[in-house]
Structures are given as structure tokens and as C-alpha cells.
Amino acid sequence: MSQVVGKRALVTAAADGIGRVVAETLLDEGAQVHICDIDSAGLATFAAGRPGLGTTVADVSREDDVDRLFNEATAHLGGLDILVNNAGIAGPAGPIETLELEAWQRTLAVNLDGTFLCCRRAVPLLKEAGGGVIVNMSSTAGIFGYPRRSPYASAKWAIIGLTKTLAMELGPSGIRVNAICPGAVSGDRIDRVIEATAASRGVSPEVVRDSYLRQTSLRTFVDAEDIAATVVFLCSAAGARISGQAIAVDGHTEGLGEG
């Protein structure tokens, strides 16, 4: 029997991409799941095929949206055992002198402020449950410098700092906090990032894609299923002694250059 059967989980930005695969995997493993996204149509499509899945349209960078999300999630789940902070945006690509403050602030708002706001609301619920798990989605960009992607890298580094701090703060309450650092994950999102980076450098997307592959020892992108499997492991009894870690699931990134 799966070790997350009956656990109550909230996954942010789960109408598509990594978040959807994480939510699907938790459901398949027997967890009760509530998700949010800004994409109302995507939420409706997902929920139509998954009876029992709870959904909320919410922008996690907005405090009032997060409050509404947690009110609806707790009403649906009856409490909380697992929070997966998956919401994030790629932000602008380009040299720092070309970036607009508004784009910088929006990148930090979704990636970092959203993680903070959700953690702040989740912690009392996890304490009430007698403990639980928070998984924050960082990136290999939170481990290495990332030329031409300074807003994104700054937010993802900050998420690791928040993760390690909360692990210390919440450990005595039986709450484990870890960060997952995906590398380049196959799918539409990395395709868009590659196109934006290529445009900022004045090269073809194929050149950028090849540089991404050459940055990993395994010369491969990872799949969303790889990330979801790590989430389930961290939320299970098998991960009961793991906290405060930034775990790369990336084919071993050797460094982020001008990709």
C-alpha cells in the first residue's frame, strides 16, 4: 500500500505541466488532492476526469487569492498534510540592463511571494495535523548562476534559503520542508524558455537546446514524472528523515552557462 494513502495534499499551479503530473501521481497513490491554477479551463478539464479532485482558481502571488484557496482547500480536504508549492513563472530573458522592474517584480511575486504566502497559511494546518510535509519547487537555477535569467535565478535561490530556514523553524513541530531542483523538464514550458533565450541571444532555438543538453552529465532533459516520483518519496514514510534539503532531479547539471 502506498505510504501517502489518505494524506491531504494541496498542489499549486496544477492545471498542467509538472503540477498536474504531481497531482495525478498523488491521486494515483491514494492521496486526497486539492489544486489551484490561474487557468480555469485547465482546472475544469483536469477535474472532469478526476472525481474527488478539488480545484480553486487562484493567483498565488495575491494574498486574498491565497486566503480563498486555503479556505476552499481545507473545506474540501478537512485539513492538510502536504503542501507542494509548484507555482512559478520563467520571467524575462536578457542581460540585466535590459530588464524592466515590473517584469523582475512579477517573477519574484509568483515564484517567491507565492511560496511564502502558501507556507504561511499551511503551517498552522500542518501543526494542527501533528506534522506534515512542505515541498517547494526551486530549480537548478537555484544552485548555479544563470546568465540572462537573473530574476528567475534570484527567486529560485531565495526559495532554497526559505526552505532551509523553515526546516529549522518547523522541525520541532514534526514538519519537514524540502526543495526540489528540477533541471530542464521536457514539455511546452522549456520550449518557450528556449525560444525566449534564443531570441535574447540572437541564435536559433536548436543552438540553445543543444547547450542545455550539454550542461548535464546524462545529456538529457528530465520528465515531469521524475519530479512527481521525488515528491511522493519525500511525502512518504520512506522520506521521514529528510528535511532541509535541496534535491536536484536534473541528470546532473554541471553548470548553467549561456544556455
Domain ranges of the chain: 8-249
More confident residue, 153 or 207: 153
pLDDT tens, 99-129?
999 999 999 999 999 999 999 999 999 999 9
* 238 pLDDT higher than 60: yes
Asked if 9 and 53 count as a contact pair (C-beta separation under 8 A), the reply is: no
Instruction: Name the CATH architecture for the domain at 8-249.
Output: 3-Layer(aba) Sandwich (3.40)
Burial of residue 22 (number of CB atoms within 10 Å: 0-12, 13-18, 19+): buried
- Packing angle of the helix pair 150-170, 101-108 (nearest 10 deg): 30
How far is residue 18's CA from residue 36's CA, in Å, rounded to a whole number?
Answer: 13
| Whole-angstrom distance, CA of residue 89 vs CA of residue 61 | 11
pLDDT for res 197: 81
List, by residue number, the catalytic residues: 152
Question: What is the Cα–Cα distance from 213 to 169, expressed in whole angstroms?
Answer: 37
Nearest to 178 by CA among 190, 166, 169, 186: 166
Confidence of residue 200 (pLDDT cuts 50, 70, 90): confident
